[in-house]
Structure 1
Amino acid sequence: MNFLSKTIGSFAGSSIPYTFKEKLIDPTNPISGVSQVDRNSIWTVYDGTNPKDSLQVTIFEFSLKEARNKRFELLARNAFRKLKMIKFPGIISIIDFIENDVSLYIITEPVVPLALFLQTHSLHQEAIVAGINDLSRTLTFLNEDCNSLYGGFDYFRSVFVNCQGDWKLMGFELVTNLQSDPDQPIYRLSRSMPEPPDVDPESIRRDPKKYDSYKLGQFIYAVFNGGSVDTNFKLPVKLVGPSKRLMAKRINISQFGKEVEPYFQANTIVKFASQLSELKFMKSDAKLDFFKTQLPQYTQDDIYPPGFLDHKLLPELVSQYQQVSKSSASTELESVAKQETLATLLDLILKFGTKLSSEEEFRRVVKPIIFSAFAANDRAMRLVLLTHLPNYQNFLTDSDIQGKIFTPLLGGFQDTNFMIRETTLKSITIVIDKISVKQVNQELLRVLAKSQMDPKPSIRVNTIILIIKISSKIYANSKNNVLITALAKSLRDSFVPCKMTALHGFETLIDEFSLEEICSKVLGHLAISLMDRKSSKVRANAKRVFDLYLSSVETHAKELPVADGDEDEDEEEREFFKRHAPQQAEAKVDTPTAGNNNNNNNNNIGGFGWGMVSKLTSLGGAVGGGAAAGQLNSDFNRSTPDLTRVGTPTQEELPITTSADTTMASNWNEFNDAWDTGAGDEVEVELAQLPKPIVENTKKINLGRSTDTSTGRTAVAPPLRKPLKTTSLRLGQAAKTEKPKSNLKLNLNLKVEEDDDEEDGWGDGWS
């Protein structure tokens, strides 16, 4: 638009309580080639708003001080006066009239010139026919009921389209009452029009109404032909004959309406508009039947002009919804019918409300209904709300979602109907960007943990999808634990798509996990899926993702710094030997003898190893004597636990010698005498039948053998049954009698319990 003209227009309108916006028509524009809409008008037309309620309006302005407008002043004052006097649905709705010394203002409902409207919208033939029907009825009202002549009916000047898609009559500059109008504008002022009509005063006087008939015929051809009145253009068959008779002045407009009435009444838009106008007078049952059966038939075709459904149907639906919601139900049957009606109306309100082009209008009309419907906690209404959420969520702000919708929305997870639960889950995915971080961590995650165990497989899949999507909103201190736990649980799901989704989650979130988490947690979970018995696809994807994680670990390992030299693995053992090995033991060990040179060379001090440690620990008090060797044995036993020992008591745990032990010692003396009498063979046979004792135990506690000092022979003790019944020390064979209650038993039990409770960090992987 021309900036200068817009600025002047805004300045001129500063004295009226309305805000001027874009200029629609500018008759003062000096640029050649402007549209005929500008050339044919005496009014400067603006879009505007009413500051009181922020509603859209259209402002018609006529400047009284502009020199060009002197010859149009009487025309403007005639329109100003006649529009105050004549009211009809087909005439543009007037909001306000303002007159001062500078200008005349007519404030109307928001409208657009028909010629401009048809340039930007391609209307269906049904919509054009419905518009012609509206205009013919309005002109019939003027001619017959008001006994007036419209005069100068014109395609570019006379008709405007409102936000509902209705065609409204404007341009009352030449409207003349055929009986009481003293000025007779049609005769006196017609030549003053910007584009003078072809007026023959004498022919008008003979039959004034036929002049409007002639102009309507021209208008019908112009509408179907882009503004041209070429009669060769094809019209709908039902309109061809009547339109030609209009132009020939053979019939007036009222006769035209009666002739084409069946055709107009068969028009879908005309019938629908008629039904809507009668809706307020219907009973509740009839309304519900209309909404459920007839309304879907009307709205299934895309034949309506822009704004018809949004601004004509939607307000009526909202009005009906408010009336039904306020009504009371005395019986359960009436209550069910009421909820059914509300759900049906809500579905239609959201269907057409989401097509509104103005966010402000949606906020004013539809939002309150959405909030109240969520609070109602009705299953049918909840399903309708969630189904349409993708369409209207763009109209909702973050505060709307967080304060009015999120909490009621979470209630859907508790519904016994799986459709409600699944639709709720999908809805959370849609609005997740508008949910606060606090709500995600303190409310949503708790619900999703339960939803991940839902019996419906599709809900479990959508749950893990949502968890992956909200990963960026999870608190950093618990984020990775939540993700790994949730994904690992889905990897163990019996539903293959759930496993695939979890693998995809591990793949997309690989950058979230540290190397320690990958090694200690993630790889173990992924390894389970490598042996999935149900799906080869899962195994293949698990292998790919596993390799991806393993590759990241290997890449990092290659970047670790290289040490100056390999660490000597035996350094600690050599240091231990230097500190604790007795000198006499070293001398004896290092002295080679015939037949064992190789053995000594392999186990000398310079080549200290586990073989030497084994020898040192077997020396006890025999090698080196004294406390040094015993200290070495004790230190070694404490520093290196025996993994094969099963609860063998140490020397500190052995009980004090009792009378039973003395008896056992005397029996060992009798056993030594048996070797001298040749009874050793019989004893060896009986001993061979016993279980072999653990070697380590026999080395550490030299029981069961005795040495004859005279001969140097070592004898094996025979099985002694009586001592075995009374002592806690036994070889191979368990005692059959009840164990004596002594400190030894208590100590052993305590020792075993301590060993069992030790946590060595490996878990049960070695059991």
Structure 2
Amino acid sequence: MWSFFSRDPAKDFAFDIGEPVRGLEDRSVWSMHKGKKRSTQEEVSIFLFDVQKSSETQFDIAKASLKKLKTMRHPSLLHYLDSVESEKFLYVATEYVEPLATHIEDMKLQGQQRELFLAWGIFQITRALSFLNNDGNMRHNNVCLYSVFVTLAGEWKLGGFEYLTSQGQEGSNPIPLKIMPSLEIYDPPEKKDPTKLKAITKCSSDMWGLGCLIWEAFNGPLKNQPALKTVDNIPKQLGTLYCELVSANPASRPNPADIITRCRKMGGYFKNDLIDSMLFLEEIQIKDKAEKGKFFSTLTSQLDNFPEAVCVHKILPSLLTAFNYGDAGSAVLAPMFKLGKLLDDADYQKQIVPCVIKLFASNDRTTRSRLLQQLDQFIMHLQNSTVNDQIFPQVVHGFLDTNPIIREQTVKSIVHLAPKLNYNNLNVEVLKHFARLQAKDDQGGIRTNTTVCLGKVATHLHPQIRQKVLVSAFVRATRDAFPPARQAGVLALAATQQYFLLVEVANRVLPALCPLTNDPEKQVRDAAFRTIKGFLGKLEKVSDDPSLKEGMEADVHTATPSLGNAAATWAGWAVTAVTAKFYRSHSDTARVSHSVKSALSKPGSLVSPAEQPSSSSLSTTTSSVTSMTSLERSESASDYDPEHWDMTQWGDIDSSAATCASVKSEPSSVSAHQHTTLAALCEDEWGNDEWGTLQEQPTAEEELASPSETWSNTQWTDPALNNANATYVRGARAEHRPAAHQNSGDSLGGWEDGEFEPIEENVDENNASKMDEMRRKREERKLQRQREMEARRSARAQGPMKLGSKLSGPAPPF
């Protein structure tokens, strides 16, 4: 009578049972269901045995298999979690798996991914059998397609322990009788031939089952034993081994340990990238740092050939564990970020973002550099609050780093960070550092990139800050001693023209561009002429039709311009590997100059093929100028997409570090001959034939609707200017710049310099006198610059100047 008050043990089962899973019908005494753990909602698999509908023999087999499942632990055996027995059912909870038969039927893997997946799975089952036969002294006796299960990570787990026996306990016949008739097809032939029982070994029956499993992995479920003779779909690497496994003589079947040894040799079936990587990750804690670095450097390129399930659920967690609890360091970043792209946003926030935050706090330069290089791969997953509160405070330290590579990469990272930065971080902190770098940094490449990046993030600036800063910053760039910096300033003015008031264009932009029409560098002169023509065309249109002014200035005071940011696609050439290209030693420059000297002594059309410098001779240094020619040819074929330039094209930290260390002086020390020679070689790369004109004639309706239309991106994507690897060298030609074009920390210390006083938007009659006075002062400064330039020209015409001679006086005689 106490049974009425007894508690049902199934209520204490910590798992909820879900829908049934197909694949084990008539192949097992268990039925399989999906399930979830009640406390964490973690997915599990539930194996259920119906006590009332089964015979007592089947119940004994089920309880025996449960006992064996509980007591055995191995990475390739099904992992037991919990179990409970009631009057009606026997419940067993395991890790989440699905039957291999179902998995192969639904599998969508093709080609190499499928081959690697099957090889990895067969290897795991062979390893599990080696554990049972050799270490456990047991026989499984039920190896087939229906006793193997697949986890979320694509790992094969051996289950189905209903017929597992220990050595010496089998009785007269070591092969047990199976109560499921459908499983008899997997019995080895010696079961029916008593004469062969003496030849049975401790692993012969399981090796027969492994042969059946291999056949089913490539052909589907086995219908009859004669089908095992069909080997057309079996890989050639497995052909010999497969024939040994399904041999009629039990003694000729190999030991599973021997199979692993044979197939792990070079050229063996188990010798491939996936199995090598998985085995390395299993032992990563005992590997030294050098081995880890080499492994991670090759893993990234191999991931594309691995099954996605293996990458997401096995390799990525192993990488995170190695990063958090090991000494993998920054080497793990590349594969980790590549695998992170396979995650959904919730999993990314949970797994990857904490690692990113931790990495940005690192003081290791290599780690910070690799993070900045790969910022575009994970920035879209970072919340704005995370960027402003935890990422940006660490990034901003890079502006002050003594290593120019870190400073340059920090500048370029703002292009990706800008959309997520708040007002203070972007409009105050970033611009403060940009102003200092553009005026005082000793590396011309960094000054150039600062100008370019400012143009790219202009659309994200506050309208008032943008109107106050852009013209002053870009005008300053046009006075830089470094030719690419001057050109970047010109192109920046053109690309962000929708943010300028027309009165600024007339009074500040054009006066700054006109002196550049006499620049020593042809590419700067060409850019200046085209930009001036474009601005004059706008002013002319507004002069003819004042009603167009409102449309042309529509974006000046708006936070979200009508056509988006025109600067987002301009001057891709300037932000590509500037550091790696500019920081070069004098010996490198001399070698390149010497190699092209003969070719540059006469026009290119007159140089014979034998006299032309070979590509191999011009590519001996990191900053070889020959890369410009090859890239121009590829980009001129309309392959270049200015909206999709890759961070990896901005320079390699490893390749540029060596050249950076050798150059610590101002590159102006490069000889005039070297600079002239390299500039001549680069001349063709700065061709402007495809620029188009800035003064196309749009209709009035188009100008009113979108004032940026005449400045479309196609007008600023010349392949030569967008060359990702163009090399520039500051040299003696920059020394002939007028004094007003030299960098000075005193006169160019900030964008609030009096020389760049902003023009008031609304000029009324009361301010006319003030405007006249400002205009008069500018004219005086302009005349003074012209007089200085004429004095320099006259001095050069009389002969070379000696060191220390003054420009105002005549050149002393030799």
The residue that corresponds to 1:388 in the other structure is 374
Shift of 1:169: 0.9
> In the superposition, relative to structure 1, how do residues 460 and 371 fare at CA in structure 2: closer, same or farther (>3 Å)?
same
Among candidates 119, 127, 136, match of residue 126 of structure 2: 136
Distance across 2 between alignment mates of 1:204 and 1:60? 39
Distance 1:437 1:141, change over 3 A: same
CA positional deviation for 1:553: 2.3
CA 1:295–1:499: 2 relative to 1, 3 Å: closer
Query: What's the counterpart of residue 234 of structure 2?
Result: 235
Bigger Rg, structure 1 or 2: 1
Question: In the TM superposition, what is the alpha-carbon distance from 1:90 to its structure 2 partner?
Answer: 1.4
Preserved CA contact (<8 Å) 1:158 1:169: yes
Q: What is the TM-score normalised by the length of structure 2?
A: 0.55
Taking structure 1 as reference, are residues 293 and 251 closer, same or farther at Cα in structure 2, changes over 3 Å only?
Answer: farther
1:377 and 1:408 in contact (8 A); partners too: no
Matching residue within 776, 780, 802 for 1:763: 776
Q: Is the 8 A contact 2:151 2:157 kept in 1?
A: yes
Q: Which residue identity does 2:448 align to in structure 1?
A: V
Compare 297-306 and 514-523 and name the one that shifted more.
297-306
Cα distance in 2 for residues equivalent to 1:521 and 1:323: 58
TM alignment of 1:353-372, pairs within 5 A: 354=340, 357=343, 362-372=348-358
1:159–1:60 Cα change, 3 Å: same
CA contact (8 A) 1:160 1:169 kept: yes
Deviation at 1:91, TM superposition (A): 0.2
The code of the aligned residue for 2:150 comes to V
Residues 1:291 and 2:280 aligned together: no
Return the alpha-carbon distance in structure 2 between the equivalents of residues 244 and 90 of structure 1: 24
Q: Which residue of the other structure, out of 419, 424, 434, is the alignment partner of 1:433?
A: 419
Residue 538 of structure 1 corresponds to 527
Q: Cα distance, 1:441 vs. partner?
A: 1.4
Work out the CA distance in 2 between the residues paired with 1:560 and 1:464: 27
Match of 1:255 in 2: 255
Counterpart amino acid of residue 233 in structure 1: D
Residue 376 (structure 1) shift:
2.7
Report the CA distance between 1:415 and its aligned residue. Answer: 1.1
Identify which range, 450-459 or 170-179, moves more after superposition: 170-179
What CA distance in whole angstroms lies between the structure 1 residues aligned with 2:771 and 2:125? 96
Match for residue 211 of structure 2?
Answer: 217
Name the CA distance, whole Å, in 1 between partners of 2:511 and 2:344: 54
Contact preservation (8 Å) 2:24, 2:32:
no
Listed one character per residue, the Cα deviations across residues 644-697 of structure 1 (whole Å, up to 9, x for unaligned) are xxxxxxxxxxxxxxxxxxxxxxxxxxxxxxxxxxxxxxxxxxxxxxxxxxxxxx
Does the CA contact (< 8 Å) of 2:369 and 2:409 recur in 1?
yes
Distance in 2 of aligned mates of 1:18 and 1:438: 51
Give the Cα–Cα distance (whole angstroms) in 2 for the partners of residues 311 and 130 of structure 1. Answer: 15
Tell me if 1:553 matches 2:552: no
The one-letter code of the counterpart of 2:43 is: V
The one-letter amino acid of 2:127's match is R
- Residue in structure 2 matching 1:442, options 428, 438, 442: 428
* CA offset digits 1:623-663 (Å, max 9, x no partner): xxxxxxxxxxxxxxxxxxxxxxxxxxxxxxxxxxxxxxxxx
- Matches for 1:678-697 after TM superposition, within 5 Å: none
Amino acid at match of 1:557: P
Deviation at 1:452, TM superposition (A): 2.1
Q: Name the structure 2 match of 1:488.
A: 475
Residue 416 of structure 1, CA deviation: 1.7
Gaps in structure 2 of 5+ consecutive residues: 1-9, 551-768, 781-814
Query: Match for 2:73 among 87, 95, 98?
Result: 87
Q: Distance in 2 between matches of 1:766 and 1:276?
A: 71
Structure of greater relative contact order (alpha carbons < 8 Å, 6+ residues apart): 2
Q: 1:555 to 1:62 in 2, by over 3 A?
A: farther
The aligned amino acid for 2:126 is S
Please give the per-residue CA displacement for 1:76-115, whole angstroms capped at 9, x wherever unaligned: 5554343223322210222333455665544333434434
Residues 61/127 of structure 1: CA separation in 2 closer, same or farther (3 Å cut): closer
One-letter amino acid of the structure 1 residue matched with residue 399 of structure 2: F
- Is contact 2:293-2:328 (8 Å) kept? no
SS in 1 for 2:368: helix
State the shift of 1:531 in Å. 5.2
Deviation, 1:449, is 1.4
CA contact (8 A) 1:432 1:470 kept: yes
Counterpart residue number, 2:453: 466
Superposition deviation, residue 42 in structure 1:
6.8
1:426 shift after superposition: 2.0
| Amino acid across the alignment from 2:21 | D
Query: Residue type of the partner of 1:481?
Result: K
Deviation of 1:400 after TM superposition, in Å, equals 2.1
Aligned amino acid, residue 26 of structure 1: V
Name the counterpart of 2:21.
26
- Paired with 2:98 and 2:141, the residues of 1 have a C-alpha distance of 21
1:280 aligned residue: 285
TM-score, reference length from structure 1 = 0.58
**Contact 2:490–2:528 under 8 Å retained in 1:** no
Partner amino acid, structure 1, of 2:215: Y
* Equivalent residues, number: 527
Deviation at 1:225, TM superposition (A): 3.5
Name the CA shift for 1:202/1:46 in 2 (closer, same or farther; >3 Å). Answer: closer
CA distance in 1, matches of 2:307, 2:546: 69
Report the equivalent of 1:107. Answer: 93
Given the superposition, is the C-alpha separation of residues 486 and 120 from structure 1 closer, same or farther in structure 2, using an over 3 Å criterion? same
| Aligned partner letter, 1:203 | K
Find out whether 1:475 has 2:462 as its counterpart: yes
Which residue of structure 2 aligns with residue 647 of structure 1? none
> Where does 1:47-446 land on structure 2 (aligned, <5 Å)?
50=37, 52=39, 56-62=42-48, 64=50, 77=63, 79-100=65-86, 104-118=90-104, 119-122=107-110, 123=113, 125=115, 127-155=117-145, 157-177=146-166, 190-191=179-180, 197=185, 199=187, 203=192, 206=197, 207=200, 210-225=204-219, 231-251=230-250, 255-258=255-258, 261-266=261-266, 267-268=271-272, 269-281=274-286, 287-293=288-294, 296=297, 301=302, 304-306=306-308, 308=310, 312=314, 315=317, 318-319=320-321, 321-322=323-324, 343-347=329-333, 350=336, 354=340, 357=343, 362-446=348-432
